[in-house]
Amino acid sequence: GENVEQHPSTLSVQEGDSAVIKCTYSDSASNYFPWYKQELGKGPQLIIDIRSNVGEKKDQRIAVTLNKTAKHFSLHITETQPEDSAVYFCAASTAGKSTFGDGTTLTVKP
């Protein structure tokens, strides 16, 4: 089955700096790669996603890149703000089944 590895597990940055989270996946059949933000006591919230036929997607301060050949994808957050502090999960999906990474706890220091 699919295996998703996510790094780093924790990330601390100063407000205004950029943050990068990386994931690798194993199943070449995966064709959809969402990123979620989860705050304490809440369910994951979709923040950006990318399909396998696209290499990069950007939405304001967040962007995702996908390298299908190398089977890795990354989340980039620019100009970080304290409210970006949360746990971030990547996932790889095919035919309705999603496999999640173990999460990255991002702390943005004011």
Chain positions contacting other proteins, by CB under 8 A: 4, 6, 32, 34, 36, 41-46, 49, 89, 91, 93-103
Smaller CB separation from other proteins, 96 or 110: 96
Smaller CB separation from other proteins, 66 or 91: 91
Taking the complex as a whole, the smallest distance from the CB of residue 80 to other proteins amounts, in Å, to 22
What values do phi and psi take at 108, rounded to 5? -110, 115
Taking the complex as a whole, the smallest distance from the CB of residue 15 to other proteins amounts, in Å, to 26
Smaller CB separation from other proteins, 19 or 33: 33
Taking the complex as a whole, the smallest distance from the CB of residue 97 to other proteins amounts, in Å, to 5
What values do phi and psi take at 106, rounded to 5? -100, 125
> Does a cis peptide bond (omega within 30 degrees of 0) precede residue 34?
no
Q: Which residues contact 74 (CB under 8 A, 6 or more apart)?
A: 20, 21, 22, 23, 64, 65
Cα 79 to Cα 7: distance, rounded to the nearest angstrom: 20
